[in-house]
Amino acid sequence: MTLASFRISVESPDTLDFLPDNLYSLDLLVRPLWGLYANMLAQLVAQVSSHVIIHYHRKTTMAAGYAQEVELGLTPSNSEETREKLCSHSFKLDYEASNKDAVVRRDVNWALSFALLSLIVLVILGCALPSFGIEVLGLVGLAVESGNEFEQAKTLYSVFDLASMIVDQAKFSGGASDYLGLGTLASLLVLTVFLVPLAQTASLLAQWYAPLTKKQRMKNTTLNEILSAWQYMEVYVASIVVAAWQLGGVSEYMINAYCDPLKDTFTSLSYYGILEANDAQCFRVDATVQAASWILVAASLILAILNHFIVGAASQKVQDDEIPAEQRLHSDQWLQSKQSAVTMGVDISMSMSADEEEGCLELREVTISPVNPRFTDYYFFATARSGSEEQAGETPGETFEAETAMLPVDENRSDE
């Protein structure tokens, strides 16, 4: 945004015959130095190192889980090569052993297809159309207008225009460091704002509609997670909003401090209508938010919702396929604590007399690790009971019932 805001060219007017051609030419630009590039490299190192650490963390936990299955004598899942579409998967509704499941409604599938296609269109339009404008005011703005046939000194930028301007500045500077640094900056802009959102949309589309094996689905989920970390549409829009808010005051402070002796002159010229109030100063740059920025905001919101929907469905499918029914409610983190969010009262005096019961009645607090909400919990309205009337194309007449899963009773457990 700073590179675009202060990239100003002033040319001598060609319409005035009494002035020689190309009498003067002025180019104003901001040249990034190692401080900016060091910050950019630090962000790249942080992103890449996070992906590497997460990869080896998951690799280690998967190996430990496989070893635990072998130690307990459990048979590893043999569904590695089974292909299934996520959109047609039957999601288990209950945490305990049950034959109740649900599938995504047909109209939801149609809405999801429309949202994915709309997202592609919105990303392309948001990057191709102008997302912000830069207007130069003051004496510098008048000089720019005089060399541009007195048209308004305002430039509109899209994502592609901004990347092109950055590359052109590298060509203007001509240094190898500028080619490398500004070229990398322009590439990251197009990559993170345009290409990555499209790639993430394609990943979600394949995750939902393509018949994938378990291994392919895991790889696609990992790819989508990586793409999410490199998706910067909302960051780009946030930078535009901040620039529109702060750029005018910053630009005035840069140059107008040296124009104090001309303040009375500017006031008089503005009073008599010779100069407009905005031009009665030496220099000011204003940024305005254009329509494409709000298109990108809409695209980022749709992408976030679709990502939560599809990734949640894929996560529950993994639970349905891999976790036995009798273990869906339980966790290996059972603690005796008074800080539990869920408590159970355990009466151990059932076999005692009435006198003994009054003195020995106890309540034992058991901490239960809460079960995380699943896809069918978040989006219960988007699913219908498998085999219900609605799935057969008739008017739905079935209502859902809430069920409470009870903790299993261990008969061999001591009451001490």
Q: Which residue did the predictor score with more confidence, 242 or 355? A: 242
Q: Which residue has the tokens 């980022």?
A: 300
Asked, for residue 348, whether it belongs to a domain, the answer is no
Q: 74: part of which helix (H) or strand (E)?
A: none
Mean pLDDT score of the chain, rounded to an integer? 80
Report the predicted TM-score, pTM, of the whole model to 2 decimal places.
0.78
* Bridge partners, 103 (sequence order): 384
Per-residue pLDDT of 65-85, as tens digits, reads 888 777 777 665 555 678 899
* Cα separation, 120 vs 155, whole angstroms: 27
* Cα separation, 250 vs 248, whole angstroms: 6
- Kindly indicate the confidence band of residue 189, based on its pLDDT and cuts at 50, 70 and 90: very high
* Bridge partners, 288 (sequence order): 133
Asked, for residue 269, whether it belongs to a domain, the answer is yes
Which structural domain, as residue segments, surrounds residue 106?
2-31+77-325
What is the pLDDT at residue 145?
A: 79
HSE of 303, CA atoms in CB hemisphere, 13 A: 30
Q: Do residues 3 and 29 make contact, with C-beta atoms less than 8 angstroms apart?
A: yes
Asked, for residue 285, whether it belongs to a domain, the answer is yes
Asked, for residue 20, whether it belongs to a domain, the answer is yes
Per-residue pLDDT of 260-315, as tens digits, reads 788 888 888 888 888 887 778 888 889 999 999 999 999 999 999 999 999 999 99
* Cα separation, 132 vs 244, whole angstroms: 9
Total domains in the fold of the chain: 1
Asked, for residue 393, whether it belongs to a domain, the answer is no
Asked, for residue 122, whether it belongs to a domain, the answer is yes
Mean predicted confidence (pLDDT) in 391-408? 44
* Cα separation, 1 vs 185, whole angstroms: 12
Quick check: 353 pLDDT over 60? no
DSSP summary character for residue 77: P
**Of the candidate ranges 84-88, 150-154, 268-272, the one whose mean pLDDT is the lowest:** 150-154
Asked, for residue 235, whether it belongs to a domain, the answer is yes
Asked, for residue 45, whether it belongs to a domain, the answer is no
Q: Is 9 helix (H, G, I), strand (E, B) or coil?
A: strand
Q: Residue 391: which residues within 8 A CB-CB, separation 6 or more?
A: 103, 106, 384, 385
Would you say the C-alpha torsion 207, 211, 217, 223 has a positive or negative sign? negative
What is the pLDDT at residue 342?
A: 44
Q: Give me Rg for the CA atoms of the chain.
A: 32
Per-residue pLDDT of 93-112, as tens digits, reads 876 556 788 999 999 999 99
Q: Give all strands (DSSP E) within 66-162, no chain letters.
A: 91-92, 101-104, 132-137, 154-157
Mean predicted confidence (pLDDT) in 215-232? 94
Q: Do residues 285 and 243 make contact, with C-beta atoms less than 8 angstroms apart?
A: no
CB atoms within 10 A of CB 250: 14
Q: How far, in whole angstroms, is CA 288 from its chain's centroid?
A: 24
Quick check: 413 pLDDT over 80? no
DSSP summary character for residue 383: E
What is the pLDDT at residue 361?
A: 44
Quick check: 377 pLDDT over 50? yes
- Kindly indicate the confidence band of residue 175, based on its pLDDT and cuts at 50, 70 and 90: confident
Burial label, 73 (beta-carbon count in 10 A; 0-12, 13-18, 19+): exposed
